[in-house]
Chains A and B, each alone.
Chain A
Amino acid sequence: MTQATQRDEEPHDIGAAQQGDQQAFARLYQSHSGWIFGLCWRLAGGDRGLAEDWSQEAFIRAWNKLDQFQGDGSFAGWLRRITVNLALSDKRLKRSRVHLESLDASYEEGGYSHELAAPSPPWQGADQDLERAIAQLPERARIVLVLHSIEGYSHEEIAEATQMAVGSSKAQLHRARKLLQDWLNNE
């Protein structure tokens, strides 16, 4: 089945899944699970286990909340919001603000290097160098970069999702791009 055909069938599958059709939901999973896992992997900084947990939980939440999807926007956008909110809320639980600040401080002091451990994405055909560099970015810089430069979030949306100021989001993005430029140019 081509991607175009999948897109054509998607409204039907969404409706069927909303009626409890697991086969239809499985087709939706087939269409969206790849990029959802990629998004989770990047937000998790290359932590595959965490990315799997988020991906799994995101689809389970989507299944449980399917009746709330009204079709106002795209199904992919709805699924993306579920995934990002899930990942960010889990981050807030797992890592304290103090820990995040300490990571950023270590970066500011120059003691943070992407050469320490560079996980590669577990799928073929990816921009491996860029993926490894993103995975090594400081936490908040990485989240802002992924949401803004890859997923297309605005700074206002990022500020709302991450509970940081819009200026901070812009600053984190600047820092992330600067780091990536330096690392990629040195390789």
Chain B
Amino acid sequence: MNDHQALSQRLQQLRGTGSAPDDLWQKIASQIEAPADLPQLPPVQKVAGRSWMQAWPQQLWANAAAVFLLLASTLLVWQLKPVNEGALYQLPSSAELAAQESRTMSIQLETAAIDLNYQAVAHQWRASQVGQQLLNDANAESGELGLELIQARLLQPELALIEQSRVQVRKALEQQPDSALLLRQLANLDQWQSRLLRDLARQTAQA
């Protein structure tokens, strides 16, 4: 074997030799693995133990049932559609609007009457308290406090307030003549007015 043949043989013996670094596979594996953030596709569904040819009747029935349910729900929605639209979009008549406004006004007037009632009661109570205090003061001053002063300090503001309330309630009754609450409120005001006038007369007599 000459040098040429020997070299050729040595070169051929190098074929297939070599050894990769130990960590090379880890580098490769890290780059061929699927990204972790990508969702995994679900496996293809397979009917257990049967081929597609054997399973297709069951799948056909399942698909037919799904189609039937879809059609039934569509028809149901179609039937309900006019009713829903009428309920949603029907405009109220003028009479209904007037009735609604009347009911709203009635509620507002009744609310105003209740407020006046409360104010009248509060004034009456305060007037009685102030009147009693004035009478006590007058007694303490040996009857020097005159009737006119009592009327000016006590009864006149209350009588003016009651009269103002009676005017407001009467205006409300013009709008709602059948309102029981307003009628009752007016009656109360009349009663309180009469009571104050009697008190005034009694106090005048006592003075």
* Contact in complex: B14, A126 (CB < 8 Å): yes
Q: Among the listed stretches B18-26, B117-125, B174-182, B199-207, which one makes contact with chain A, having 4 or more residues with CB under 8 Å of it? A: B18-26
Secondary structure at the B interface, as helix, strand, loop or mixed, is helix
* Contact in complex: B28, A150 (CB < 8 Å): no
Secondary structure at the A interface, as helix, strand, loop or mixed, is helix
* Contact in complex: A181, B7 (CB < 8 Å): yes
* Contact in complex: A130, B29 (CB < 8 Å): no
Q: Which of B1-57 contact A (CB under 8 A)?
A: 3-4, 7-8, 10-21, 24-25, 27-29, 31-33
B116 to chain A, nearest CB (A): 87
* Contact in complex: A123, B18 (CB < 8 Å): yes
**Residue on B nearest A25 in the bound complex, by CB:** B32
Task: Report the count of interface residues on A (CB-CB < 8 A).
Answer: 40
**Contacts A33-B25, A60-B32 given: A121-B7 contact, CB under 8 Å?**
no
Q: Which of A51-93 contact B (CB under 8 A)?
A: 52, 55-56, 59-60, 63-64
Partner of A34, one of B12, B14, B19: B19
B3 contact set on A, CB distance < 8 A: 181, 185
- Please give the residue numbers on chain A whose beta carbons come within 8 Å of chain B beta carbons, in ascending order: 22, 25-26, 29, 33-39, 41-42, 52, 55-56, 59-60, 63-64, 121-127, 130-131, 134, 145, 149-152, 177, 180-181, 184-185
